[in-house]
Structures are given as structure tokens and as C-alpha cells.
Amino acid sequence: MTDIPILFSGPMVRAILDDRKTQTRRIFHPPAPDTATCDISVQVATGEYRPRYAIGDRLWCRESFAVEYEDGRVIYRQDRAARYPRGPIFYMASNYEPERWRPSIHMPRWASRLTLTVTDVRVQRVQDISEADALAEGTEPVLVPPDGGSCPHVEGFRSLWDSLNAARGYDWETNPWVTAITFTAERRNIDAEKAA
């Protein structure tokens, strides 16, 4: 079991908080340079390639936040919720400009409020996502014509995927390999005791 930080956009944090998101897909970077045309799933099944994530790993979510200097509260941008974390915040708060929103990439472990436990990991092409998996991604459905033959949640996921990944060269049409991660979410810091 490994503890790994993971970034989520604001709408995806909201989907986790609303219990609509139980899956996420991340680019899978195989070690060999000639894997663009081969079936990577064979190497994953035989253990030659290993995804970064494994069943049992704990992921702590990074999201946009601010720290109040006077009382050390962490404010989360997505829903303006606040919490008083224990530990280093009371002497680290002075390092943060009060009420200034900070990007998710800078969220320290002690400020995180969502812990995800990985329950399943698959490696697949991004276009292999099913309608049920697209729904579990927490995306909004896209209305399609009745004769379009398309799946509304897959279309919603496609739109989200391209908005986050096209500029990095991993758009839907290139159909990159991804790690599909299924998780359960808990509203607590990764270092906090589990509720009884």
C-alpha cells in the first residue's frame, strides 16, 4: 500500500463530494518507446509493465485552497467549506498569504480533506470506456440525437477528457493508454483516524 497525491479539477472534486465520482483515468506511460502500436495490456497482465497505482493504495486529493492566517483554517475553493486540521498548519500558516487561493498542485498533505482507497486498476485505451464507467467518472451527459447511436455519458467524458488533456497531446482521437482507477472516497485527511 502506497500513499499518493492526486490532482482533481474543481468540478471533479464536487463530483467526489456529491458521491457521483468513483473512477478516474490517468495517462499510462509505459517504459518502452515502441509501445504506441502494441497491446500494452498483455505486458500489464504478465507483470512486465506496472501501473503507478495498485489496489489498496490511498490517494490524497489535491484541490485549490486558501489558509486563514489568524485561526489556521483551510478553505476549499470548490465549496467554500472550511476545516481546522491538526498538526503543522498552525506554524506553517504564516507561510501562506491569508485568503489567497492557491493552485491544487501546491496543496500539502496536511491540508487535504479527501482520501480515496483504490479498489480496482485496469489499463486500457481511453476510448474503451463504457457508459457505466463514464457515469462513474462523474461527468455530465451530453445530449445526442436519438439516431446518433452514441452514449451520453461517454460523450460527456470525451468532452472533459479533451478539455484536460488535448493541449498535452493526449486527445480523445489519439486514443492513449490510460490507467482506469476505481476508488472509494472518505471525507477525511489521509493521516486522520478513521471514524468509528
Sequence ranges of the domains in the chain: 3-61+114-186, 64-106
Instruction: Answer with the residue of higher pLDDT: 120 or 45.
Output: 120
Phi, psi (rounded to 5 degrees) for 128? -80, 5
Rounded to an integer, what distance in angstroms lies between the CA atom of residue 52 and that of residue 138? 22
Where is mean pLDDT largest: 26-35, 53-62, 144-153?
A: 53-62
Tens digits of per-residue pLDDT, 65-76?
887 766 678 888
CB contact at 8 A, 182 and 111: no
Instruction: Supply the pLDDT for residue 128.
Output: 94
Quick one: 3-61+114-186 is in which CATH superfamily? Answer: Hypothetical protein. (2.30.130.30)
Instruction: Answer with the residue of higher pLDDT: 150 or 110.
Output: 110
Q: Share the mean pLDDT of the chain.
A: 84
